[in-house]
Structure 1
Amino acid sequence: MEASSAALPARVRRGYGLGSVVTGAFPTVPGLLLLPYLTDRLGIAAGLAGLIVLLPKAWDVLLNPIAGRISDRSTHPDGRRRPFLLRGGIALAVLFALLFAGPTSPQGLAATWVVLLFLACASAYAFFQVPYVAMPSELTRDYGERTRLMTWRVVVLSLAILVSGGLSPALRDALGPHWGYPAVGVFVGLLILGGAVGAWWATKGAAPVVHVTASGSLRDQLRIVARARDFRALLLTYSVQALATGVMLAGVDYTARWVLGSPGASTYLFVAFVAPALVVTPLWERVGMRTGKRPGFVAATVCFAVGALLVWVLRDHGIGAIAGAIALVGVGYAGAQMFPLAMLPDAAAVDADRTGENRVGVYTGVWTAVETLGLAFGPGVYALVLVVGGYVSSTGGVVDQPDSALTAIVLGFSVLPALLFVASLLLLRHYRIDEAAVLAAGKDLP
């Protein structure tokens, strides 16, 4: 059995991280702008708009495990996972460029365009994301090296979220809704293309850890994965946090326009959310190396929740105070991304090392399906909060929102994500994999 060395070449580590441009840009920009595009550009009611955002990505719950199983069985000479990065990335880039370029009337035709294009984007993304997330389990068997690999990935992820999420609203506002939304589609499509091609190119020649492809049907593999207690605990924790993140992202634009009174404030809030990760992610790596990944994950989760609650407390103190609270959220978010992404390959690789069979793609397919569903439910849940608050949709004209809608906007943006993050810690109690468990599984290898 061939194994990669503990220390990965810098080219591979950095090259792998480039794929996070795709996994950062695609979930972020629709999470920020698709719901406002539907409610305030196309004039679709908030409840229906939330359903439109949810349904195409809910498709990934079925598709992602299939994509994982397909990549598990791949025998391509360029590697089991790498070819999917190129094919899925190029398809996603083209489709995303078309997402905001459809008709704006009649309303039914416009809504149908968004549903079909977003469904196609989600499908292409599945065949990029699942093989991409599966790669760390096969690039190295070393517990600490996976943390270092995820550190670089989260730095690139944060930069991608910062660029795509920070510039996209500004680009829309600068060009106006008529040209701004299509321009956002092209801009993000180019980012996705660059990240996918870069990750594919830079990981060329990396020697993977080799396991025999797991036998049995996809249903058999899903049963095995479902019985993995540590993976299940980690998955449920991360899914609740993905839901909370999706809710909070959906509220950025609404909070900026209706609470702070400035559409441009969405860029400042978003930068405050993402920018800290560029600085603190290496610090979270040190925490993980000293205390372990699970305690670091708990600390990051608490940090996120405290920052989100502070948004509610400081809601009447202006953009500076709110941005400061959002920065604390961003500090927690960096760790809440890095640690579970480093723990996932541990869980999948422990299973592969113990059994000698590779079902890493199925693990990551299930993981990304639930993560995608959580992020997709986020705007839908936020839309329900708006409905309860009596939010008034429009086609771009000036409207007056009731006080109940303004309260709902801030509650959905702050208190609800905080409560979800705290609740997720109850699910993490059953995760037990540490460095000793990874080493013990490796000793069972022939």
Structure 2
Amino acid sequence: MSADTTAITDPPLPRSRLLGYSIGSVGTGVFSTVPGLLLLYYLTDVLGVSAAIAGAALVLPKAWDVILNPIVGAASDREAVRTGRRSRLLLTGAVALPVLFAAMFAVPGSSPALAAAWVMTAFLLAASAFACFQVPYVALPAEISPRPDQRARAMTWRIVAVTFGILVGGGLAPVVVEAAGGGRAGYALMGVLVGLVMAVVMLTSVRATRWIPSRSGPRPLGLVAALRTAWGNRPFFALLGSAILQFLAVAVMLAGAPYAATYLLDDYGLTSAMFVCLVAPSAPAVPVWNRLAARYGYVRCYAVAAAAYAAGAAALYPALRAGSIPAVLALAGLLGICYAALQLLSFSLVPESVHADSDRTGHAQAGAFTGVWTAAETAAMAAGPGVFALVLALSSYRASDFDEPVVQPDSALTGLAVGFTWLPAALMLVSLPLLLAYRNLAARRYRAHAGRRTR
């Protein structure tokens, strides 16, 4: 991190501005959580769609987002150069997303084929609206202050708000579904209520962040030029590769939670309890991780958290097979503490990568970088249900509808247990070499830049 005279003398950000920015993350946390947690189960066990078709219906819309997010990122940078703000795309996403979210859980008719097509279409449109909000929103921390410590403060507030959004989405959405009697009506009511929450927090954030000045460079870059310029940032892409594997691990666990609760712990209602235990420790853990990272190093703490998450996920397997609810909930709490670090430290390193890259290119392309980052995150989070659906299909899982549940074979129970525990653990461990590569590349770039400044 570099500090110039402006950064040193610029005043700290007031809490009102930190709150105004971060509250939007309640909405992004909800949308990042609820579809991954409930949409696959909604398709297979409420609408009667086969696991293979349901997985495809959830993965295909996100494949489009891999293309869309970088486009939105470049468009956001062009808007920033022309107007000095990123507000238009933020507003578009904040208005459209809540409506489309409710539509995902309001499937008409009784045909499984129609249900799969409806959910896939609504999910594609909702994910596109989410990109319009999320990409410029994630770009704002790089511009919220010239001071690295204040950018870190903004990220800490944001991750706490994301954690609260995850808690609202993952903890309350299944409760609303169950309280409304389950089935189609329960999911439809949940979609409307959660959509209203998203609308309030996201529109509030759009209004509260209009003061943030956006300066992406001396001239607007087209999509190809922006991505070509960003591609030279090797440390960023090493960090991104590590984060993709971590996002995928978390997404697989999200998709598997209702199945683990229903078929291994014999109580779908434990989905909410598992989620509360996973998310509740995250909020107080975020500032603790921030202090530890400032003292011992961001990458070192990041690696410790990923390794601990892998260990906790692997330990869930025997706890689930034994049906030990206290052990499962305790391990979920440990994963929550680690997940707080994964969120905070990965996203804290992105703005600094943008600032470091501006020394190389002359363009602080926050939109281009966050477009690539959110595309990868979106793809990984979407691939999670697809990967878990593939595990179910390979282990002979039997789809059912809400009124006619079926007994699963032993192969399906083993498959969903492995998919919920050992598979995410393996993905976390594989992410560590890329994280260490990021540390080495970033240090090499810092030394090279310092050498140029002294000449």
- With over 3 angstroms needed to count, the CA separation of the structure-2 counterparts of 1:439 and 1:360, relative to structure 1, is farther
Deviations 1:316-351 (A, max 9, x none): 152111010111111100000000100001111211
- With over 3 angstroms needed to count, the CA separation of the structure-2 counterparts of 1:151 and 1:377, relative to structure 1, is same
1:183 corresponds to:
189
Structure 1 residue aligned with 2:379, among 370, 373, 381?
Answer: 373
Q: How does 1:21-420 map onto structure 2 within 5 Å?
A: 21-75=26-80, 79-175=84-180, 176-208=182-214, 210-213=215-218, 216-315=221-320, 316-396=322-402, 397-420=404-427
Cα distance in 2, alignment partners of residues 279 and 429 from structure 1? 27
Q: Which amino acid aligns with 2:392?
A: L
RMSD value over aligned CA atoms? 2.3
- With over 3 angstroms needed to count, the CA separation of the structure-2 counterparts of 1:174 and 1:48, relative to structure 1, is same
In the superposition, the TM-score normalised over structure 1's length comes to 0.94
Cα distance in 2, alignment partners of residues 228 and 317 from structure 1? 47
Q: Which amino acid aligns with 2:377?
A: E
Q: Which amino acid aligns with 2:409?
A: P
Q: Tell me how many residue pairs correspond in the alignment.
A: 442
Q: CA deviation at 1:80?
A: 2.2
Cα distance in 2, alignment partners of residues 7 and 353 from structure 1? 24
Q: CA deviation at 1:213?
A: 4.8
Cα distance in 2, alignment partners of residues 439 and 118 from structure 1? 45
Deviations 1:144-191 (A, max 9, x none): 322221111111111110011111111111212131111111122112
Cα distance in 2, alignment partners of residues 312 and 141 from structure 1? 46
Cα distance in 2, alignment partners of residues 341 and 349 from structure 1? 14
Q: Decide whether the 8 Å contact of 1:35 with 1:53 is kept in 2.
A: yes
Q: CA deviation at 1:104?
A: 3.8
Cα distance in 2, alignment partners of residues 297 and 142 from structure 1? 22
Q: Decide whether the 8 Å contact of 2:236 with 2:350 is kept in 1.
A: yes
Greater displacement, 98-107 / 405-414: 98-107
Q: Which amino acid aligns with 1:192?
A: M
What are the ranges of 5 or more consecutive residues in structure 2 without an aligned counterpart? none
Greater displacement, 322-331 / 8-17: 8-17
Cα distance in 1, alignment partners of residues 238 and 11 from structure 2? 27
Deviations 1:381-422 (A, max 9, x none): 001111111111011212110111111111111111011001
In the superposition, the TM-score normalised over structure 2's length comes to 0.92
Cα distance in 1, alignment partners of residues 299 and 185 from structure 2? 46
Identity, % of aligned pairs?
43
- With over 3 angstroms needed to count, the CA separation of the structure-2 counterparts of 1:214 and 1:381, relative to structure 1, is farther
Q: CA deviation at 1:294?
A: 1.0
Deviations 1:347-388 (A, max 9, x none): 112112443323221111000001100000000000111111
Q: Decide whether the 8 Å contact of 1:352 with 1:360 is kept in 2.
A: no
